[in-house]
Amino acid sequence: MGGGAPRLHRRLLLLLGLCSWTAALRGNENSESLPESIPSAPGTLPHFLEEPDDSYIIKSNPIVLRCRAVPAMQIFFKCNGEWVHQNEHVSHESLDEATGLKVREVSINVTRQQVEDFHGPEDYWCQCVAWSHLGTSKSRKASVRIAYLRKNFEQDPQGKEVPIEGMIVLHCRPPEGVPAAEVEWLKNEEPIDSNLDENIDTRADHNLIIRQARLSDSGNYTCMAANIVAKRRSLSATVVVYVNGGWSSWTEWSSCNARCGRGWQKRSRTCTNPAPLNGGAFCEGMSVQKITCTSLCPVDGSWEVWSEWSVCSPECEHLRVRECAAPAPRNGGKHCEGLSQESENCTEGLCIQDVERGGDIALYSGLAAAVLAVAVLALGVTLYRRSQSEYGVDVIDSSALTGGFQTFNFKTVRQGNSLLLNSSLQPDLTVSRTYSGPICLQDPLDKELMTESSLFNPLADIKVKVQSSFMVSLGVTERAEYQGKAHPGTFPHGNHRAFGTIQARNKAMYIQNLASISTSSELRTTALFGHLGGRLVVPNTGVSLLIPHGAIPEESSWEIYLAITQKESSLEPEGPEVLLGPEVSCGPPELSVSTPFALTIPHCAHADPQHWNIHLKRRTQQGKWEEVMSVEEETTSCYCLLDPYACHILLNSFGTYALIGEPISDCAVRQLKVAVFGCLSCNSLDYNLRVYCMDNTPCAFQEVVSDERLQGGQLLEEPKLLHFKGNTCSLQISVLDVPPFLWRIKPFTACQEVPFSRVWRGSPRPLLGAFSLERFSPATTQLCCKVCVRQLQGHEQLLHIQTSVLETERENITFFAHEDSNFPAQLGPKAFKIPHSIRQRICATFDAPSAKGKDWQMLAQKNSINRNLSFFATQSSPSAVILDLWEARHQHDGDLDSLACALEEIGRTHSKVSDVAEPELEEPEFPSSRNGL
């Protein structure tokens, strides 16, 4: 009890002090400042849960300042050093349930007038003072300012013209304001987000910085300033990014314009690398160069005088000849017209008696010659069998194919005789005649032409002298009907031909009008196949299926289909992989074949193993895709042969397949076809140009053409090839040289930029650029301009557009299509280029193993098949599968001459080996064998 009296005394003093302070405050409104503190006991002072914040008065709306403290018996505001009257306070008291202490909240209003009337060295301010029985606490000072934003910018952005890849800096100083205005930039009324484009920076002093200008950066730029009061727009600044023109490479020199004598030839270059854009400077220098040239004049051939008549022959005829050598034709001159030899009767009817008197002599002479011929033949056969015993069937058998496509020099006989097959009479060797050009090969399965017994005979009935001593024709009877035909010149037959080249491909293509493209929504074809096999083609797509002879069992037939998935494929490439061609299905899946069939799928890759890793994938029954093999992989399950524009695949099972490419380097090239279509819009004065960049495959082009036909589009220029690199650079499409007083194009739309990923991934919508042009007058009916498609740091193509906008005056642009487009199915022997009998001879010759390498492996090598030979080794007839692959590669050109050249080259290689081997192996036993052969 002794300590309670002082404590009670202190509480009474505090209560009396508060009462006196309250009374003084109520009695005198303009009283002096309250005491800062009252006597208090040691302990915890009031703690502010909420302090007043800095505020801005917008227009004439007052703001509210608020405080909250615990424990607090009373809270008052002090503004600018003076207490605010208690009548202006709004108080609220509550109890903190956690601590049991009283929580007091107080707020006041501050008007615009109060702030404007205050004239002090600093901003208008207010703070709270809280009391409790333990003492007082003060809050932070909160400033109150009047918010505003001036109308005029201190500095507006200025327009610029900068070269491509130059730096662009646009300055902006926003209007004065409280609080300070925040700035953002607009391009063509669209906000610019520098976080999405690393090339743009808007953080430096409200300025806009574009580090490297692109064509797409051209436009109208506006600086936008805003705070809590208002927004202000600066004047717009027009930025033009221009491109100075650069010369392209010189073209090859043209041929001499004079066919004979002195003339000139020229070469040219264009200002398109790059083309000048948006006011850029045109190239300086000459666009055309000319030089003089001299062409050799053609000299027509002329006959020499006739030779003397020959001695009268037993047939009572003599001959005379002349040559086309006075002069001989040169430099493309004409060959002599007329006969090079003449024959006539030389006895005037007295020959019959001579023949009767000389009959016995001729008979005995013939018998002696026959005996001698049989002896020589027996010796030759013996030596031949000994020299060929280690090779199996001689490769000479395969020359039956080459015989029909090489130049032959064999001796003629008197007119009216046949080729004297198996005859003892010898033809006249004094005159030779050259047979040239491709001679049709007939299938000697015809019993009248060749019997089955002679089909596999390694030796021919008669050998015909050809330019190469190795080349011997086995099909003499097939060519007898051509003995009276002579063709000037000879057919070139060197070994320099490349198999599956572009030149060979172009031979079998013809110009077809755009209107003939199919508009079918389903690219699918079917046919009934049997034991004879055949070929199935999806027209105008480059997709085909070859069923070999004997792949389907005898006395059975199957309806086989071949289909292409249009639009978007179900295959979703992973990571950097891309789809290189169409998704192709063939079936039925339950059909099993005894020998591999050949599936041809076009692709759009510039197939270089240093830059691409190409895979074949197959869709499972569950709809998932699994990898079958890599094109460069060694496997025995299937075989892939990659040509420049198509992949030929040997398979044993039907299904759905697709080619996938994984780029290894930035130099990987995807080949695109660029095409421009045009049509009138609803407004008869507007003309729309649509630019497509699609995969360089026939089926991709067909889809675009079908869609354009539905829209009334017209192909304006023959499509061109663009090599699109995987260097992540975007594609630019621009319209150039629009006639200024006849047409106009919308500003900032003459050049459009397409992101790299959209082009590289092969979008199912290959429309990459659309341009709208407007005629000034309906009388303008012709449009002449250029469309430039180029990849930054890559290839470009320039398409020259010259067309009529009137439908009645349109000129159809042609394009190329395969000659088999109207024949989707070919069944039996007519589907194959190599006659069946010739094919059997080649297989019999090369399937047998040979110690000297004259086998199917050499056949594969000469046909540019140098890898994954283990696949062919597992086949029952490797040569047959190699020939099936040849048929798939040459389905459009049927270049049998190339196959003939390969066989001839094998023969020359064999003859060199024989020359080395014969002295060691045969000379000791047959010292005269080489002379005999």
HEC letters along 893-905: CCCHHHHHHHHHH
Q: What is the Rg, in whole angstroms, of the alpha carbon atoms belonging to the chain?
A: 48
| Overall average pLDDT of the 90-118 stretch | 87
Q: Reply yes or no on whether the pLDDT at 459 is more than 90.
A: no
Q: Reply yes or no on whether the pLDDT at 849 is more than 50.
A: yes
Q: Would strands 90-95 and 102-110 be described as parallel, antiparallel, or unpaired?
A: antiparallel
DSSP string spanning 774-803?
EES-TT--EEEEEEEEEETTS-EEEEEEEE
Given pLDDT bands bounded at 50, 70 and 90, which one contains residue 723? very high
| Overall average pLDDT of the 517-535 stretch | 78
**Model pLDDT, residue 171:** 92
Q: Reply yes or no on whether the pLDDT at 42 is more than 60.
A: no
**Model pLDDT, residue 286:** 86
**Model pLDDT, residue 86:** 85
Which among 282, 297, 288, 216 has a CA at the least distance from the CA of 246? 282
| Overall average pLDDT of the 61-87 stretch | 90
Which among 930, 917, 924, 919 has a CA at the least distance from the CA of 850? 917
Q: Residue 791 corresponds to which tokens in the numbers above? A: 């990849």
| Overall average pLDDT of the 721-749 stretch | 87
User: Contact at 8 Å (CB) between 175 and 181?
Assistant: yes
Instruction: Please provide the average confidence, as pLDDT, over all residues in the chain.
Output: 76
Is residue 737 helix, strand or coil?
A: coil
| Overall average pLDDT of the 651-677 stretch | 92
| Overall average pLDDT of the 10-18 stretch | 43
Task: State the DSSP H helix or E strand holding residue 380, giving kind and residue range, or none if neither.
Answer: helix 359-388
**311 CB-near residues (< 8 Å, 6+ apart):** 318
Q: Which amino acid is at 851?
A: A
Given pLDDT bands bounded at 50, 70 and 90, which one contains residue 385? low
- Residue of 359 and 252 predicted with greater confidence: 252
User: Contact at 8 Å (CB) between 660 and 613?
Assistant: no
Is residue 772 helix, strand or coil?
A: strand
How far is the C-alpha of 9 from the C-alpha of 41, rounded, in Å? 12
Within a 10 A sphere around the Cβ of 501, how many other Cβ atoms? 14
- Residue of 773 and 439 predicted with greater confidence: 773
Is residue 351 helix, strand or coil?
A: helix
Q: Reply yes or no on whether the pLDDT at 358 is more than 60.
A: no
DSSP string spanning 635-658?
-SS-EEEE-SSEEEEEESS-EEEE
Residue with structure tokens 């107080």? 106
Torsion over CA of 97, 99, 102 and 106, rounded to 10 degrees?
Answer: -80
How far is the C-alpha of 415 from the C-alpha of 337, rounded, in Å? 20
Q: What percent of the chain is modeled with pLDDT above 90?
A: 30
| Overall average pLDDT of the 19-38 stretch | 42
User: Contact at 8 Å (CB) between 15 and 21?
Assistant: no
Tell me: the pLDDT tens digits for 571-624?
777 778 899 999 999 999 999 999 999 999 999 998 888 888 898 999 998 888
892-906 burial, b at 16+ Cβ within 10 Å, e below that, comes to: bbbbbbbbbbbbbbb
Is residue 857 helix, strand or coil?
A: helix
User: Contact at 8 Å (CB) between 136 and 34?
Assistant: no
User: Contact at 8 Å (CB) between 367 and 818?
Assistant: no
How far is the C-alpha of 278 from the C-alpha of 745, rounded, in Å? 13
Terminal Cα distance for the chain, rounded:
150
Residue with structure tokens 């650079």? 729
**Model pLDDT, residue 21:** 42
- Residue of 543 and 750 predicted with greater confidence: 543
User: Contact at 8 Å (CB) between 564 and 525?
Assistant: no
Q: Reply yes or no on whether the pLDDT at 445 is more than 70.
A: no
Q: Reply yes or no on whether the pLDDT at 52 is more than 80.
A: yes
**Model pLDDT, residue 68:** 92
User: Contact at 8 Å (CB) between 568 and 555?
Assistant: no
Q: What is the DSSP letter of 752?
A: E
Residue 841, φ and ψ in degrees, nearest 5: -65, -45
- Residue of 569 and 851 predicted with greater confidence: 569
Torsion over CA of 178, 181, 182 and 184, rounded to 10 degrees?
Answer: 160
How far is the C-alpha of 89 from the C-alpha of 567, rounded, in Å? 74
Q: Residue 454 corresponds to which tokens in the numbers above? A: 């002679």
User: Contact at 8 Å (CB) between 323 and 340?
Assistant: yes
CA 740 to chain centre: 35
Q: What is the DSSP letter of 718?
A: -
**Model pLDDT, residue 258:** 81
**Model pLDDT, residue 522:** 58
Q: Which range is least confidently modeled, 22-26, 379-383, 705-709, 713-717?
A: 22-26
| Overall average pLDDT of the 794-819 stretch | 74
How far is the C-alpha of 465 from the C-alpha of 185, rounded, in Å? 87
Largest CA distance in the chain: 184
User: Contact at 8 Å (CB) between 175 and 150?
Assistant: yes
Q: Which residues pair with 787 in a beta bridge?
A: 735, 799
Q: What is the DSSP letter of 700?
A: H
Q: Which range is least confidently modeled, 201-215, 773-787, 821-835?
A: 821-835
DSSP string spanning 511-531?
EE-GGGS---S-EEEEEEE-T
**Model pLDDT, residue 487:** 36
Q: Reply yes or no on whether the pLDDT at 652 is more than 90.
A: yes
Residue with structure tokens 């615990």? 70
pTM comes to 0.49
Torsion over CA of 527, 530, 534 and 536, rounded to 10 degrees?
Answer: 20
**Model pLDDT, residue 910:** 53
Q: Would strands 583-587 and 534-538 be described as parallel, antiparallel, or unpaired?
A: unpaired
User: Contact at 8 Å (CB) between 772 and 746?
Assistant: yes
Sign (positive or negative) of CA dihedral 916, 917, 918, 923: positive
Q: Reply yes or no on whether the pLDDT at 157 is more than 50.
A: yes
